[in-house]
Amino acid sequence: MCRHVAWLGAPRTLAELLLEPEHGLLRQSWEPRRQAHGTVNADGWGVGWYSPARPEPARWRSSRPVWAEASLASVAPHVASGCVLAAVRSATVGMPGDESACAPFARGRWMLSHNGVVDRAVLPAEAWPAAESVCDSAVLAAHLLAAPEELAERIAAAGAADPAARLNVLATDGERLLATAWGDTLSVLRTPDGVVLASEPFDDDPAWCDVPDRTLVTVTPDGVELTRLEAP
């Protein structure tokens, strides 16, 4: 299991989103409050963000625990973006441990993080060549990012094929966020300058709202929309 967070809104620094919140991803790497599967997230981390320099996102990923990344505290206050996606990893048993297995995964303008587990056998064979790693999350990401407009349908189909799957994902193309709650917690925070989606609240702001299980969340500059996901 993993923990992840995404932001869409006015530019915020990586430090504001990952390091400064009392229960942000840094602390969730060793002391998550809502994690039901696993106890720590020490198998790597990653963050992706967008800038005006190019349409594709920049990514920084590592197989080390995020608390061991000495340069992050120095760099994070200097990098700001209106769209950020980050995750800390608790690897599924038997999956690879190198940084290519750490989210966010990317294809073109899109990035995606998976919080959960899925049987790779239920995913199409054509997803494997495009996957950044052979881990379940990377193969799932390749399958979903091949057709982001079908994300909801593909999540529901994977969930139907593997009833034990946990399929919480965060995805973005820099202009919108897509997220699914399927088998684990997901929360949303609306603020005056943007929206946060996260596995669990990174502070005790009472404005956080829990997303019902089996729900698609769509965040655009116009607002937040929740749609029920139904297995085919």
* Buried/exposed 136-170: b ≥16 CB within 10 Å, e otherwise: bbbbbbbbbbeebeebbebbbbbbeebeebbbbbb
CA 128, CA 10: separation in Å to the nearest integer? 36
Q: What is the pLDDT of residues 1-10, one digit of tens each?
A: 699 999 999 9
Looking at the DSSP assignment, which residues form a beta bridge with residue 112? Answer: 105, 171
Give the pLDDT of residue 1.
Answer: 65
Q: How buried is residue 20: exposed, middle or buried, by Cβ count under 10 Å (0-12/13-18/19+)?
A: middle
CA 71, CA 75: separation in Å to the nearest integer? 6
- As annotated, the active-site residues are 2
- Residue 213's identity, in one-letter code, is D
- Whether pLDDT at 170 is above 90: yes
Residue with tokens 């404005």: 207
Q: What is the pLDDT of residues 38-95, one digit of tens each?
A: 889 899 999 999 999 999 999 999 999 999 999 999 999 999 999 999 999 988 777 7
102 close to 44: Cβ distance less than 8 angstroms: yes
Domain made up of 3-228: CATH architecture = 4-Layer Sandwich (3.60)
Give the pLDDT of residue 91.
Answer: 86
pLDDT band at 98 (very low <50, low <70, confident <90, very high): confident
Give the pLDDT of residue 93.
Answer: 75
CA 225, CA 78: separation in Å to the nearest integer? 32
